[in-house]
Structure 1
Amino acid sequence: MSILFTHIQPRQWLGRIVSAPLVSLLALLTTVMHFEVISTPALAIPAAASVETKLKVPNTMSYSPFNISRYLKVPPNFSISVYTRIPQARFMAVAPNGNLLVSQPSMGKVLIVRSNGSKDPIISNFVTGLHNPQDIVFHTINNTTYIYISESNQINRFIYKSGDITAQNRQVVVAGLLDSSTPELKGAYGHELKNIALDTNHKLYVSIASTCNACLADTVSNPRRGAIYQYNADGSNQRLFAQGLRNAEGLAFIPGTNELWVAVNNRDNIVYPFKDATNNYGKVIPSYVDNHPPEEFTRVRDGGNYGWPFCNPNPDTSNGPNYMPFDRDYQFNADGHVNCNAMDKIIKGIQAHSAPLGLTFLQNTNFPSLYSNGVVVGLHGSWNRQQKTGYKVAYFPWDRMKNLPGNQIDLVSGWVIAATQEIWGRPVDMVVDQQGNLLISDDYSGTIYKLSYTPPR
């Protein structure tokens, strides 16, 4: 709440204040001053995606799936276009000079994309020969800017100078991370790609996801999997930071804070855990699997445990997807030997099987101000739900007073056609460029989209 003081005439009332009795001072002020109280909402709710908009595609990029007209739903006053085509485009980062870096895990490369005026962007190799590169983070320490790039088996950093178009001065800061090449795993690692984040104290956080859908082996491995580890920025002093997070793909700090939030892919094919009149106890029931357990969007604290694989968040209560209680997992905790009440509750649930990947806070960016107090999550889309879900960019307005996300709305949707269930795109990650456009990667069609805002006249 803010208070504006108007209609103040200092020379008329200053002397009166000095000579007035103290008890009459407040009355005097309220007489000579007009108070205008303006309420500033802590949570502004912008418009959701509601306008079906034809995707703008340059002629040079109009090959499949853009060989026919495609449409996406966006909020009013937005447009969306194809910025460039990059096969298997995954995670992105905007360099300080505005260049775009894009990872291609399946091709072992990180590309650099440079704007070229009205022509197609210029794309070239920034670094090649990597082992499943995934996440990219710029971070400055003592006036030296680094680019951190995760591989499935290690974390690298490169010294960056403005204008670099190839990677320079590589250092391996964390070596020997487990992936499918690790002999003991015999090629079986379901979620081997690594995501990373760095805080303002120059601590590095690495998500070491589960090898499996749900299993006990990951909870007793060394290092523990389904977990997040913390290191110094140079890779020293590894320690377990949090656990019980099956596959935390999105890792991000609220801008200006050291508060870590994650987006988590939760488990599939969950067994019905209730002894009730349905007689479904211990069975895999598709209608139950469709909506359980929710994907997770939550704050992560030092020492936290978020339940997987012993405890599953339950959205079927009066709180809905907020601070959900846990149910015991039938396969691994039917007897309750793990206390689910001791687990850290998930702050926000997302529709089960949406497959959240990228997580980007919009504060301190040039994204339109109505939306910039919020966060976007790329929902890659389901593979095992009876009716497909996800295939969109979700937006959560941010409540500044509570420091919590509000209710999910769609920012961009339509990569799955509801009537036919045809999939033509799967969003992964989002970044805001220097002009305030939201760039969205899509590893299915091999595309970077540009979501742009035009203020109403």
Structure 2
Amino acid sequence: MGLSDIFARIVALIGAGAILLRRMEGSVDVPALGHAPAIPLAKPQGIPTLKMPTARGWAPGHVPVAAPGLKVNAFAPVLKHPRWIHVLPNGDVLASEALGDAGKIKTAFDYAMYSTMKRAAAVGTSPNRITLLRDRDGDGVAETREVFLDNQAQPFGMAMLDDTLYVGNTDGVMAFPYADGQTRIAGPGRRLTTFKSGGHWTRSILASPDGTRLYIGVGSLSNIGDEGLVAEEGRAAIYELDRATGQSRMFATGLRNPVGLAWQPETGALWTAVNERDGLGDETPPDYLTSVKDGGFYGWPYCYWGKTVDDRVPQDAAAVATAITPDYALGGHTASLGLCWLPAGILPGFGDGMVIGQHGSWNRSKLSGYKVVFVPFADGKPTGEPPRDILSGFLAPDEKVSYGRPVGVTIGPDNCLLVADDVGDVIWRVTAA
């Protein structure tokens, strides 16, 4: 028996054993959702549950399932791991194409994780580029495709302000000059910030409504400070960057992996979608959607959902005492990444609220996420109703394969919703049926 065969057996045993243990303990099927979720007691997992579907992609003619009253088409197929979307003032659409790397493999579980993630198309060689997509004739399909910017370091978030394109590379924010209608940017760009690489690698960017500041999401290096809190300094936070001075500061902390960022227009509040920690159970703790207060601390790594202490972490009682309870639970391990505000009137049957791209779980005995959902708002806050599906069907009913995994979401030209699908390698376009 070769070394690869031994490792393959280890992978299978770790996955099957962890799932069997969860079943023996009794799985919790009720999702932890809403303002006051029923979060099960933590059950620390000696062997974390490791379950992901095999990435298959979409066969010709196969598309996600749209909610009643909606239809979906491929705006731009045959991309390479598109993660995030930004619409330029002239209607051109930018798609950042990037992929996580495997990191250091030190243990049998690391190898099991790497093998599982590779099978699910979640790690590999990153394209490290941004592609420009243009729909000249307005038929909902981009017929023009150009490499807009390449040779980047896992590019993710983008923002266009005053003829400058800001790009969130994993190692920092870059600025590039841009002229309206340009189809390619050349040159090294200008570095504005430097971030530590590794771990949660995405760097989302959102401009303030007045365009004077940028907000950047930076996730943690590890699950719960596994390599010590010194290694986590400057991470698990949302940064504010002043465009005039070039100075940046931590705007909010204790956010394990804040990816999606969006403004709520009535209140002017910043909102984010956060991926919570692993290894405590199917629904413990839930990922969440929350408004973000300047100077606010949201618990990671010491506690979750307010002041629920995580006993696996050396504690800081003073920090726990200040932890803010998030606004709205999204269920355990949904990997809620994409976030955008949806005004009433864009999609029939959907009023004001937030759209969330749920990439899908790996640390659960029964998979969750793998869909695009809508959280209704009233008076500037979630109403408390359960999320509603906008797009589903990314995951096979038997959970063995995924056709796609939604990530970034944004409002596109002509009142549509655009969705980046990094396993299907496509940008989907959702409109009224």
TM over 0.5: yes
Q: Say yes or no: does 1:306 pair with 2:298.
A: yes
2:245 and 2:186 mapped to 1: Cα distance?
A: 18
Instruction: State the percentage of identical aligned residues.
Output: 27
* Contact residue 218 and residue 238 of structure 2 kept, 8 A: yes
Change (3 A) 1:329 1:100: same
In the other structure, the counterpart of 1:215 is: 225
Write out per-residue CA displacement over residues 169-222 of structure 1, whole angstroms, 9 at most, x where no aligned residue.
76424233211xxxxxxxxx2112211222135122222211101117664458
* Coordinate RMSD, CA, aligned: 2.4
- Separation in structure 2 between the aligned mates of residue 405 and residue 135 of structure 1, nearest angstrom: 28
Equivalents in 2 of 1:161, 1:406: separation in Å?
44
* 1:132 counterpart = 2:168: no
**Structure 2 vs 1, CA of residues 74 and 153 (structure 1 numbering), >3 Å: closer, same or farther?**
same
Identify if the C-alpha distance between structure 1 residues 158 and 258 changes in structure 2 by more than 3 Å, giving closer, same or farther: farther
Q: 1:343 aligns with which of 312, 318, 323?
A: 323
User: Cα distance, 1:375 vs. partner?
Assistant: 1.1
TM-score by length of 1: 0.70
Letter in 2 for 1:433: G
Do the aligned partners of 2:93 and 2:132 also contact (CA within 8 Å) in 1? yes
Q: Paired residue for 1:292, among 284, 298, 313?
A: 284
Checking the alignment, whether the CA contact within 8 Å between 2:270 and 2:292 is kept in structure 1 is yes
Larger relative contact order (Cα-Cα within 8 Å, sequence gap ≥ 6) = 2
Q: Are the aligned partners of 2:408 and 2:419 in contact in 1 as well (CA < 8 Å)?
A: yes
1:231-280 CA distance string (max 9 Å, x none): 2125622222111000111112223764211111111113xxxxxxxxxx
Q: Which residue of 2 aligns with 1:373?
A: 352
Residues 1:245 and 2:255 aligned together? yes
Q: Distance in 1 between matches of 2:304 and 2:232?
A: 23
AA aligned to 2:412 is: D
User: What residue in structure 2 maps to residue 331 of structure 1?
Assistant: 312
Partner of 2:75: 83
Instruction: Name the TM-score, length of structure 2 as normaliser.
Output: 0.74
1:442 aligned partner: 421
Cα displacement string for residues 58-97 of structure 1 (whole angstroms, at most 9, x for unaligned residues)? xxxxxx7333653533222211122222110010011111
Give the drift of 1:308: 0.6
Equivalence for 2:214: 204
Distance 1:222 1:216, change over 3 A: closer
Aligned partner of 1:352 in structure 2 is 332
User: Gapped runs of 5+ residues in structure 2?
Assistant: 1-55, 99-125
Q: Which residue number corresponds to residue 107 of structure 1?
A: 127
**Counterparts of 1:392 and 1:222 in 2: how far apart (Å)?**
31
Give yes or no for contact 2:57–2:423 (8 Å, CA) kept in 1: no
1:161 offset after TM fit, Å? 2.9
For the 8 Å contact 1:191–1:212, the answer to whether it is kept is yes
CA distance in 1, matches of 2:243, 2:362: 36
Residue type at the aligned position of 1:290: D
Tell me if structure 1 keeps the 8 A contact 2:371–2:405: yes
Deviation at 1:102, TM superposition (A): 0.3
Contact 1:160 1:168 in 2 (8 A): no
Question: Deviation digits for residues 395-447 of structure 1, max 9, x if unmatched?
Answer: 01111x25345421111111112235421110001122221121111111201
Distance 1:216 1:236, change over 3 A: farther
1:148 and 2:203 correspond = no
Residue aligned with 2:313, SS: helix
Q: How far, CA to CA, are the matches of 2:365 and 2:231 in structure 1?
A: 34
* Cα separation, partners in 2 of 1:227 and 1:216, compared to 1, 3 Å: farther
2: CA distance, partners of 1:359 / 1:138? 18
SS at match of 1:197: strand
Bigger Cα Rg? 1
